[in-house]
A and B are shown apart, each in its own frame.
Chain A
């Protein structure tokens, strides 16, 4: 018995000694792993992990936010959505308004050591205009040429256009190193920019690891050492990932917001220009009859989209801009209110009995919004069949579809948003070359109005009003830019539609 007691005592002593030794050692291991990734590591699960890292191929869609980690641009936007200096410290227009000169910051370099100068700007614009797989050439039609004069990039325009500083921001002109861009395919795999971070590891479609770029012009205000950008897994697992520390920042599906809040995470929305619409092709029956288009307009109950799809985080909208934004036109608000009785009357007047009109709604992937459209139109006697077409983009952008859905994240230039939706060749105008009467003239007036002019807002809203006369689009709701983060990540600047990491801190222990 005595011997057994001694053995037990010895075992306890050894156990205690091991615990004393191992616990701090293991704790320090955990600390080391954080240190190994830079201490202040942002672990971002993104729903928009870039399919392409060449900004010219990536286009001006939602992925620009992730690409902006690597690439800087001439301008960026402030909290009001106005263009402010980025790589360009200032700019000025000539007297006629058909030429703008950007003055670049001196001494900047791309992460491959190439200088950030006007030649790089010229190369970026020309590549966006000419590269075969460019998704940006349609955005740069106002630019005739760029002349490089050291650190001054002189942009000559095809028309008077005061929107250029808004245009040449993060969405449309992220500037890559001209040397790296000499091989666009290589740039797609190894992005080289002059943004706040540089890519150290890239697993296509899955994960990117980025480190702070000490040569970034505003590096002193970047407090994140490392970014681990991961393609978000299924929405239902994101909250678990945030709770367990796999991520500390993530795009959030509104369905998961309640879960995230219960888990003690910070759930917040960023301002933005998201707008979903029903796209109609008025060159095809039955939408070639304006009464049918009006019937669809009155059949749509926008509130249902907000309640069922955004869990109250979104907003009903009948414009491509949020209420309060400079381009939002109060005079156009609720022009076609939800009125199913009026819708049925219009259809009857057009000679259609309930069930006469049968439409195929073609969408790229399963989308509850399509089911809502289907059920709302069924209430006025329009039978909708939903068809999922994985190759939807081809017929949509070729304007071959009759009836579809689209959701935009907007543009920094309100005019670009308008022309994309309502212009005769706008990519989001399913009814090309149709444009509403007076739209072109209204757009020209906006282009010719300096952004600082007291008449700018008035002219812009008039253009919005003219665009909204279009029979090709019925705006429905604005989905939220919803995010969740751990408490370790500080608040983000509220730049509309952008994710700006300037000033954001991540506590060392995530």
Chain B
């Protein structure tokens, strides 16, 4: 985290995502109005009482955006964490557990990649009922090949390293090797993939809720607000801007964080930080640089 925050892009990404996380936790409490309370002031423009106006049932749009952030954040986290677990564990094990397991998991990963996750999520909701949890779990599984491949590639690189073979010869167990050597190599690319998947998760949650899938009305969601606003473009052409911007900003921040994690992880990251430290030292030198005379004297 220290390394990420050393980058401007990392600081921006963390700041934006922290605000979104805060909205997810405190959003419903911060909402100035009851997000479900209807009124006679329908499709009202922005005003001091309603910062983003009201919707077709007279509900405060700002309050609904705040209240809707929790579902969007939780949904995207659900996708990302499911994908992380469902992909990483078999990815590491595919190197350790022999050829049959390796072959089976590789074919499974190939199959999952071929499935369009949005359509699949729609089908699952149709089968199991309209709930975001099941849709997100399935989507997470469908996204998991990304983690599978990342974890497997990193594990393969480490598993054949001389120091691992030495540890094996010295009698170290698989668990010890995973803890001592593997995690350090696998975690950075996984962190990058995780940040990226959080962004993807936001897009998926927003897409599903835009289609009215996964959430029961009148629960507000960013995608749902966007969808309902589109029906009233003639009355409030500006209305979709706020939810669309929120989705865009969050996805952008998640991708920015992924970039920052990639930049600071591994050898490249260490080099970057060393370079920065060196530049910082160089920049600091003039303040303590002796006068030319002293320098000359010192040289002597």
Contacts and interface: CB of A to CB of B under 8 A. Distances in A.
Given A375-B37, A390-B126, A370 B217 contact: yes
Contacts of B40: 304, 307
Contacts of A270: none
Contacts of A308: 42, 56-58
B38 interface: yes
Q: Which of A262, A366, A385 has the most CB of B within 10 A?
A: A366
A258 interface: yes
Contacts of B230: 234, 236
A253 interface: yes
Q: Which of B42, B212, B218, B230 has the most CB of A within 10 A?
A: B218
Contacts of A386: 216-218
Contacts of B216: 385-388
B254 to A, nearest CB: 28
B234 A368 contact: no
A255 B57 contact: no
B38 A371 contact: yes
B36 interface: yes
Contacts of B275: none
B161 interface: no
A374 interface: yes
Interface string B26-37: 000000000011
Nearest to B213: A388
Interface string B212-245: 1000111000000000001111110000000000
Contact of B217 (A239, A304, A307, A371): A371
B130 interface: yes
A189 to B, nearest CB: 26
A232 to B, nearest CB: 14
A375 B57 contact: yes
Contact of B42 (A258, A307, A367, A389): A307
Contacts of B36: 375
B233 A236 contact: yes
A372 interface: yes
Contacts, number: 58
A253 B232 CA distance: 11
Interface in A360-379: 365-368, 370-372, 374-375
Nearest to B126: A390
A256 interface: yes
Contacts of A255: 56, 231-232, 234-235
A13 interface: no
A402 B4 CA distance: 56
A235 interface: yes
A259 interface: yes
Given A236-B230, A258-B234, A375-B38, A368 B57 contact: yes
Interface in B93-136: 126, 129-130
B235 A253 contact: no
What DSSP secondary structure best describes chain B's contact surface? loop
A117 B216 CA distance: 53
Contacts of B126: 390
Given A308-B57, A386-B218, A372 B38 contact: yes
B221 to A, nearest CB: 12
Q: Which of B36, B216, B232 has the most CB of A within 10 A?
A: B216
A368 B56 CA distance: 9
Contacts of B129: 389
Interface in B54-82: 56-58
Contacts of B212: 365-366, 388
Nearest to A391: B126
B100 to A, nearest CB: 41
Nearest to B129: A389
A374 B38 CA distance: 10
A389 B212 CA distance: 12
Interface in A200-253: 234-236, 239, 253
A374 B233 contact: no
A253 B234 CA distance: 12
Nearest to A370: B217
A388 B217 contact: yes
A374 B57 contact: no
B134 to A, nearest CB: 14
B110 to A, nearest CB: 31
Contacts of A368: 56-57
B130 to A, nearest CB: 5
Contacts of A256: 234
A213 to B, nearest CB: 38
Contact of B234 (A259, A372, A389): A259
A255 B57 CA distance: 13
Nearest to A376: B38
A236 B231 contact: yes
A388 B57 contact: no
Contacts of A236: 230-231, 233
Interface of B: 36-38, 40, 42, 56-58, 126, 129-130, 212, 216-218, 230-235
26 contacts: A234-B230, A235-B231, A255-B232, A255-B234, A259-B234, A304-B38, A304-B40, A307-B40, A308-B42, A308-B57, A365-B212, A367-B217, A368-B56, A371-B217, A371-B218, A375-B36, A375-B37, A375-B57, A385-B216, A386-B218, A387-B216, A388-B130, A388-B216, A388-B217, A389-B129, A390-B130
Query: What are the 9 A-B residue pairs with the smallest beta carbon separation, nearest first?
Result: A259-B234, A375-B38, A371-B218, A366-B212, A388-B130, A386-B217, A236-B230, A255-B231, A258-B234
Interface of A: 234-236, 239, 253, 255-256, 258-259, 262, 304, 307-308, 365-368, 370-372, 374-375, 385-390
Given A367-B217, A371-B38, A372-B38, 17 more contacts: A234-B230, A235-B231, A236-B233, A239-B234, A255-B231, A256-B234, A258-B234, A308-B42, A308-B56, A308-B58, A368-B56, A371-B218, A372-B57, A375-B38, A385-B216, A386-B218, A390-B126
